Structure 1
Amino acid sequence: MRNIYLVVLLMLSLNFSAMGEEVKIAIASIDQAWLSPKRSVELIKENAYIASENGAGLIVFSESFIGGYPYWHYIHATIDLNYNYEKYLDFYNASITKDGYEMKKLQSYAKRYKIAMIVPFNERNEDENYKSVYNSAVFIDKKGKIKHITRKTRASHTEKLFWAEPKDPDIRVVKLAGINVAYNSCWQTYLPLIRGIQYAQGAQLIVVGTQDQGEEWNSFIKSVALEGHVYLASVTQMYQWEEIEKKDPELAHEFKQVMNNVFKLIPPKIQTGDGMLIDPWGKVVIKGKSMESKLVYGIINTDENVKSSMYKDATTNYRLPIDVSYRGRQYIKDGFAVDKIIK
């Protein structure tokens, strides 16, 4: 009888340990508003409400969702300073501050709908003697509290004409809706040191707002999920052509010419809006339809077996901790000097 009792206890403990908290995530694979913070905030309100009504505890948006992407850098030569300065002023004026009216609205929506958010935005820097814009993302919890703001470490290519390099990007993992979440802006995901810092802090989910799309990108992010043994949510930007045309008809015309010259076609939309959730074993949980403006939902199970792995690579071979430092952070874990999770 005693043996049967022990077996039952063992089975119950195994079942209990295997059960994790399930959190529904909404990936906002939707058309963005370009250079219009007001309309962007309205889109966030609308989709946060819909996501909450459908049981989501967390909603995430794509890169520079508020403010928009600086498409001018694809069109004109870097040396064309007059043109780029003129466009930079448009870009700067469409950015928002970290404690301004738009941010307070986001906080109120998170609190009203009881849903956590990660919202990438163009952050106007008003603390310096010059005008600059950061590629930032804000973490807001269900109570409407700003838990953290992270900034892209460095812009890619000629994006540097528009986005500034922050003094401290502050790469952190934040607990939102019961999940340890990190955010990467686009190509930042390619950097092993940044991924390592996020793994060492105990990330369970890495959110990527990006321009990247297609099979090459999909294959890469699957390998990242497997490498870190984390969930990965990727969401690609997407704009209607009308968004660019009504703000800058000349840019829209030139951009279409570039598209036609490079791809021999003009796509129905700018970017594809792909929304995808990948599990810690590199399997696609859900993938939205390209160019379809729609929320994509997935379930994240915070099982104790789903946690960042520092000791295995994507082929499950063991590796040694990497000896690196990161701006004198608070403690050392797995060879990384990192911060603790923001709770």
Structure 2
Amino acid sequence: MSQSDLLKIAIAQIAPEWLHREATLQKVVHCVKEAAGSGAGLVVFGEALVPGYPFWVEKTDGAVFESAIQQEIFAHYVNEAVCIEHGDLDSLCATASECKIAIYLGVIEQPRDRGRSLYCTLVYIDQQGIIQSAHRKVMPTYEERLVWAMGDGNGLVTHSLAPFTVGGLNCWENWLPLARATLYAQGEDLHVSVWPGNDRNTRDLIPMIARESRSYVVAACGLFTDKDITDDLPQSHLMKDQMSGTLANGGSCVAAPDGSWLLEPVIDQEGIFYVEIDHQKVRAARLSLDVSGHYSRPDIFQLEVNQQRASILKKPQKNP
């Protein structure tokens, strides 16, 4: 085993300071510093962690058209969303640079050029503190579509994180064969999946992706209970009444290229969990199956992906 083949990763399974952007970012920064201090080269957080997943939609009649209640909550959600262009992640980028650690973080993004529409975005910050991609979820799932807009293919990219090539998808996107194949085709051998939380989403799927791709697969999940609803939120009394108990119980885990567990799903526990992974295991596993290599047959199968950033203005777009 060569030290150059090893990478220590940290999975931060935490609850947000729900629907409060700055307070949640402070919590994220604290976790990044702790992970770096433990020798991790990558730390991963759950989907939509900043400022939080829209748990209220399903529980408070979110589909009622022109509901004053839903409009009030959504307006607050917009106010607390992340605008990358305005520098909302600058302090986090500075921490990544200072600590020499890469970060995958799920945020609710409100881009400057997209009105007040919100996107479920997975942001990758490299070890130099530079945002290298912002992947907007291509299709929000079920009730998410009431508050999140559809994303695009701009962030379907991989990144070099020596000795690995890392890529990531949001939640239900990990079920999409073509989304996975897009990352595989770019050399991915460390796959990051982020989720709002619940082990029912990760327990079966994560080992399957690992066996399919012969890659390491990480699932980073969040936590959420009714105790995370603070009194200063709009309609807090209604939400507390309708959103009792545990809505997200975690489920963060890591699978090896053969599908075996390196970290079994962690339930109802907040913390940072560490796994050391070895690139030699990827190279060995690719002997029998390499879905973007000798098993891909590009003379028969080809995948076309539009990686342009969606905009109503037709002009050259840059990443992210």
Q: TM-score, normalised by structure 2?
A: 0.85
Q: After TM superposition, list the pairs within 5 Å mapping 1:91-240 onto structure 2.
A: 91-128=77-114, 130-211=115-196, 213-214=198-199, 217-240=202-225
Deviation, structure 1 residue 84: 2.5
Letter in 2 for 1:276: C
SS of residue in 2 equivalent to 1:81: coil
Deviation, structure 1 residue 120: 1.2
Cα distance, 1:197–1:243 mapped onto 2, change above 3 Å: same
SS of residue in 2 equivalent to 1:56: coil
The answer on 1:327 being equivalent to 2:306 is yes
2:19 is aligned to 35
Deviation, structure 1 residue 207: 0.9
The answer on 1:310 being equivalent to 2:291 is yes
Deviation, structure 1 residue 78: 1.1
SS of residue in 1 equivalent to 2:229: helix
Deviation, structure 1 residue 326: 1.3
- Whole-Å separation in 1 of the counterparts to 2:31 and 2:191: 21
Instruction: For residues 57-102 of structure 1, give each alpha carbon's deviation from its aligned partner in whole angstroms, at most 9, with x where no partner exists.
Output: 1100000111211112212151332232222111111101113333
Deviation, structure 1 residue 34: 0.9
Does the 8 A contact of 1:65 with 1:120 survive in 2? yes
Q: Point out 4+ residue stretches in structure 1 off by more than 4 angstroms.
A: 318-321
Q: TM-score, normalised by structure 1?
A: 0.80
2:312 is aligned to none
SS of residue in 2 equivalent to 1:164: coil
- Whole-Å separation in 2 of the counterparts to 1:245 and 1:149: 29
Which deviates further from its counterpart, 114-123 or 245-254? 245-254
The gaps in structure 1 that reach 5 residues or longer are 1-14, 257-265, 313-317, 330-341
1:6 is aligned to none
Does the 8 A contact of 2:218 with 2:254 survive in 1? yes
Paired residues, what number?
Answer: 298
The answer on 1:72 being equivalent to 2:60 is no
1:22 is aligned to 6
SS of residue in 2 equivalent to 1:121: strand
Q: After TM superposition, list the pairs within 5 Å mapping 1:215-294 onto structure 2.
A: 217-246=202-231, 247=233, 248-256=236-244, 266=245, 269-287=246-264, 289-294=266-271
SS of residue in 1 equivalent to 2:52: coil
1:59 is aligned to 43
Cα distance, 1:119–1:29 mapped onto 2, change above 3 Å: same
Cα distance, 1:212–1:106 mapped onto 2, change above 3 Å: closer
Deviation, structure 1 residue 291: 1.1
Which deviates further from its counterpart, 22-31 or 216-225? 216-225
Does the 8 A contact of 2:195 with 2:221 survive in 1? yes
- Whole-Å separation in 1 of the counterparts to 2:174 and 2:219: 10
Does the 8 A contact of 2:197 with 2:223 survive in 1? no
Deviation, structure 1 residue 118: 0.9
SS of residue in 2 equivalent to 1:96: coil
Identity among equivalent pairs (%): 23
Does the 8 A contact of 2:136 with 2:152 survive in 1? no
**Which one has the bigger helix percentage?**
1
Output the aligned Cα RMSD.
2.5
